[in-house]
Amino acid sequence: MCKAIELRDVCYRYPNSSQPSLNNLTFSVPKGAFVVVMGRSGAGKTTLSLCLNGLIPQFLEGELNGAVVIDGQDVCLHSVQSMVRHIGLVLDDPETQIFGRTVWEDAAFGPANLSLPIKDIRRRVDDALKSVHLQGYEERETAGLSGGEKQRLAIAGVLALQPEILALDEPTSELDPVGRTEIYHTIDTLRSAKQLTIFVTEQNSEEIICRADELLVLDRGVIAWQGIPQEFFRNIPLVTEFGIRPLSVGLVGWDFYQKGWIAFKEIPLDVAAAGKLIGSVLIKRNLIDRINGRTAQPGLPPAAKAPVLIRVNNLNYRYTPDRIAL
């Protein structure tokens, strides 16, 4: 199987640091795969991302040992500028990667710096903006975009360089739930349309469970767990051990599993599965009637009505005349 990413015995230590941020990392990612790296803050996720396109060690000083091979290229033997044709890196803060006044100008920044003919630049930009669902935004000023739109524009700027691999470093860490959904819908589109290899470091688990082919868990710079994400997130003690927030539905399922009511593989990982499971368990264990009886006991005084603290009626808000927020 062809490898898009391969790390062999990679160690990295920041200047003036007594401990390595990455310690003997060895793994590979096949072409076309979607791999996610998770771990607590400081586990080494961003450091790993910066190694993939050569920013470490070419721009960030420190001691790097081992081999980082991207699309067959050893990153230590090639400039960061030449690696953009193989791998595109999107950072967690899109502001650091937006350079143009308008959406079109920003998406064109990368291919223009490759000195491509203008017709090729237009074609690449149009294709990239369409891929991230920003067609029609070409003349919009980048300063007025939402957080999710800015992150999608940062992805478009990378896609316009036509890399084989897309690496995203915590792409949803500063976004609300709507923005997170937008980003992962964009990733779904890219995978189906372009057969890209996707490498993501992430803190939020909800969006990646049903998408990732493989999960790597970093802890103190080493791979502490590697495998299918569904297996990991069903094991609540393991999830919390590595400082990762467990799924709420997984917590409910783990409680049922501990009670012996369900098998390990039945622990739900989404709301729909949890709803079916909870209803099934309550019926099987004759708990519904007991719950209903408990809530309808005669003679109990009605619950006191809490005072209204906040009331919202017919609230509307627009960022601009054509952009409705509420």
Judge whether residue 112 has pLDDT over 90: yes
Give the HSE-up count for residue 224: Cα atoms under 13 Å, Cβ half-sphere: 20
Between helix 177-194 and helix 147-159 the angle, nearest 10°, is 20
Judge whether residue 298 has pLDDT over 60: no
Query: For the ranges 44-53, 178-187, 196-205, 214-223, which has the lowest average pLDDT?
Result: 178-187
- Residues 21 and 33: their CA atoms lie apart, in Å, by 25
- Asked if omega into 57 is within 30° of 0 (cis), the reply is yes
pLDDT at position 294? 52
Single pTM value for the model: 0.82
CATH 3.40.50.300 residue window(s) in the chain? 3-241
Strands 214-219 and 34-38: parallel
> Three-state DSSP class for 218?
strand
Between helix 118-131 and helix 147-159 the angle, nearest 10°, is 140
- Residues 223 and 11: their CA atoms lie apart, in Å, by 12
Tens digits of per-residue pLDDT, 40-78? 999 999 999 999 999 999 999 899 999 999 999 999 999
Judge whether residue 285 has pLDDT over 80: no
- Count other C-beta atoms under 10 Å from residue 40's C-beta: 16
Q: Is it true that domain 3-241 has CATH number 3.40.50.300?
A: yes
Residue 22 neighbours by CB under 8 Å, 6+ apart: 10, 11, 12, 44, 47, 48, 51, 221
